[in-house]
Structure 1
């Protein structure tokens, strides 16, 4: 019997990297802080281009074009949860 995961992995060439990213575990506060600092909470590319105080055009968030967007956001969430739940730290500085 073939499972959905097996079928999905044969069609998606990036599946091994996705699986590796999802499997990363947080083992130390230093690792969690590094991930929270390295992975932004919002897309850093989204912005309004202004000239003389008027918006000329808007650059939409392009982070969702990243094929690993969901996995990277999930990794950041894991790091935040580790800091909050395991270490009892205030994570509002990363939000």
Structure 2
């Protein structure tokens, strides 16, 4: 009886393919965000606030590193878990 229920649950589970959503976000959303960040940096550079620009650029780069790290762990989570909990 339990195997029948397990088989039914396995076949009835939704199959969500998020590859298209992620690709669309990388293709459309990220460049728009970087555009606004760049416009803000250029606008503040016109005011002579170079130290704030350097801080903003470094924060943007750190944010990109964090996003890349999250994407790495998202893509390789199964392999990392097998490596860490290898028994």
User: TM-score, normalization: structure 2?
Assistant: 0.32
Q: Which has the higher contact order (CA 8 A, sep 6+)?
A: 1
The structure whose residues are more often helix, as a share, is 2
User: TM-score, normalization: structure 1?
Assistant: 0.29
| Structure label with greater radius of gyration | 2
